[in-house]
Amino acid sequence: MNGFVESLKCIKCGKEYPAENKFTCDYCGDEGILDVQYDYERIKLVINSDLQKRKYNIWRYRELLPISYSAELPHLEIGWTPVYDVERLAKFIGIRKLYIKDDGRNPTNSFKDRASAIGVLKAIEFGFDKIACASTGNAASSLAGLSAAVGLQSYIFVPEHAPEPKITQLLIFGANVFRVKGSYEQAFELSKKSCERFNWYNRNSGTNPYLVEGKKTAGLEIAEYFGNDIPDWVVVSVGDGCTIGGIGKGLQEMKRLGFINRVPKLLGVQAYGAKPVYDAFFSNTDLIPTDVNTLADSIAVGTPRNWRRAVKQIRESNGTMITVTDEEILEAMRVTARLTGVFGEPAGVAGVAGLKKAINNEIIKYNESALIIITGNGLKDIRSAKEAAGKEYFIEPNLEEIIEKIKLIIKRNKI
């Protein structure tokens, strides 16, 4: 363990535990998500002076990660994904200044690699040679890729209806894949039981306290990249709630360490057909599990495990939440691709749809600035992409046909 880690603290009742292979609080059960606590005063003394010498990936924040200094790091490059200043998308959305951070550029093409990297190292540290998770897709493909990189065997539980490209990623990385005839929730429960029964390390980021530490690296990066010029809003799509919860934690840590003088407001975006976190946020009550119905499979979570952390981080940032329809998500997919050259999957661009709606509803003002995290690459869900994209022209090999089609193209000339 990293010597700056102090304990694991229950985010519900506050009870602290030694930072070992532990999942949830003894008193609060599954609701008692544990949060890694650090000695920030000591971290402050080392990190500022040493940072410039380090490589640009998630491991540059070693003091803020629950990983021992002797751990052998995966060779895949994770994190420090590019930030783009996207003027044409800003204009379309109606905001003065807009950035996107393309996390589809991670090794297995989603934000989840940040968490899986921590997951495989914790598995090795705790003496496991097998690791498992349940996922609608990206956590799984990411775990499969990272396991392949470090030489762990992976067991993956996916619901029946996961996009094929994501399943293909699992198989090519050599994961053992169980496609569960049922929902994500059923796949989740089965993976949990299997971990207990067969002694596999559980990478489920809802309850594993260490994985969110990987997710927070995006918050650390945004803060280091912008410093005090940090945008007013950071926009994140929300399923389980770990991503936004993690990013919020990372931003708060960087304020504490003096990298930024304020924490941006968080805008959490859920699909209209899967919005239990949104409902809990606005009703001020405990989360009520819901059915899900959205094409954004990566955020189609009816029983989020980490909703409390998400709600807490959004509140502490003075942020808010919004929902978007599948039509708005498909539009965002198309528009983001056409106005920035960045191709995101539905959940990956839900933030674009959410920001546009927040501007239209005057929740966010024109003269503010925002950064949207594009959480996953568009090739992971070709079916939705094709729905968003429109059709190609099938033609005979002659110039007359081209002339005909060009007339159509001129008429169509819109995004």
Interface residue list for ligand PLP (CB under 6 A): 110-112, 138, 237-243, 298-299, 345, 347-348, 375-376
* Closest distance of CB 283 from ligand PLP, Å: 19
User: What is the distance, to the nearest Å, from the Cα of residue 49 to the centroid of all Cα atoms in its chain?
Assistant: 29
**Of 1, 6, 7, 12, which lies in the binding site for Zn ion, with binding defined by CB under 5 A?**
12
Q: Which is nearer to ligand PLP, 198 or 282 (CB)?
A: 282
Q: What is the DSSP string of 58-109?
A: GGGGGGGSS--TTPPPPSS--S---EEE-HHHHHHHT-SEEEEEEGGGSTTS
Pairing of strands 265-271, 83-85: unpaired
* Closest distance of CB 122 from Zn ion, Å: 21
Determine contact, residues 245/275, Cβ cutoff 8 Å: no
Q: Does 10 bind Zn ion (CB under 5 A)?
A: yes
Total number of residues shown for the chain: 415
Reduce the DSSP state of residue 322 to 3 states and report it.
strand
* Closest distance of CB 223 from Zn ion, Å: 29
410 Cβ contact partners less than 8 Å away, ≥ 6 residues apart: none
* Closest distance of CB 85 from ligand PLP, Å: 22
* Closest distance of CB 123 from ligand PLP, Å: 19
Cα 264 from Cα 344, distance rounded (Å): 23
> Which of Zn ion, ligand PLP, none has residue 345 at its interface (CB below 5 to 8 Å by kind)?
ligand PLP
Q: Which is nearer to ligand PLP, 30 or 39 (CB)?
A: 30
Cα 408 from Cα 156, distance rounded (Å): 47
Cα 319 from Cα 355, distance rounded (Å): 12
Region binding Zn ion by CB under 5 A among candidate stretches 29-37, 76-84, 149-157, 253-261: 29-37
Given the structure tokens 């996107």, which residue do they identify? 100
**Of 5, 8, 19, 25, which lies in the binding site for Zn ion, with binding defined by CB under 5 A?**
25
Q: Which is nearer to ligand PLP, 152 or 242 (CB)?
A: 242
Pairing of strands 97-102, 265-271: unpaired
45 Cβ contact partners less than 8 Å away, ≥ 6 residues apart: none
**Of 1, 28, 150, 382, which lies in the binding site for Zn ion, with binding defined by CB under 5 A?**
28
> Which of ligand PLP, Zn ion, none has residue 242 at its interface (CB below 5 to 8 Å by kind)?
ligand PLP
* Closest distance of CB 138 from ligand PLP, Å: 3
Q: Which is nearer to ligand PLP, 32 or 214 (CB)?
A: 214
Burial status of residue 381 (CB atoms within 10 A of its CB: 0-12, 13-18, 19 or more): buried
Q: Does 32 bind Zn ion (CB under 5 A)?
A: yes
Cα 156 from Cα 67, distance rounded (Å): 24
Region binding Zn ion by CB under 5 A among candidate stretches 11-19, 56-64, 268-276, 289-297: 11-19
Q: Which is nearer to Zn ion, 89 or 212 (CB)?
A: 212
> Which of Zn ion, ligand PLP, none has residue 326 at its interface (CB below 5 to 8 Å by kind)?
none
Pick left, alpha or beta for residue 116 (phi over 0 → left; psi -120 to 50 → alpha; otherwise beta).
alpha
* Closest distance of CB 312 from ligand PLP, Å: 14
* Closest distance of CB 407 from ligand PLP, Å: 39
Chain contacts with Zn ion (rule: CB under 5 A): 10, 12-13, 15, 25, 27-28, 32
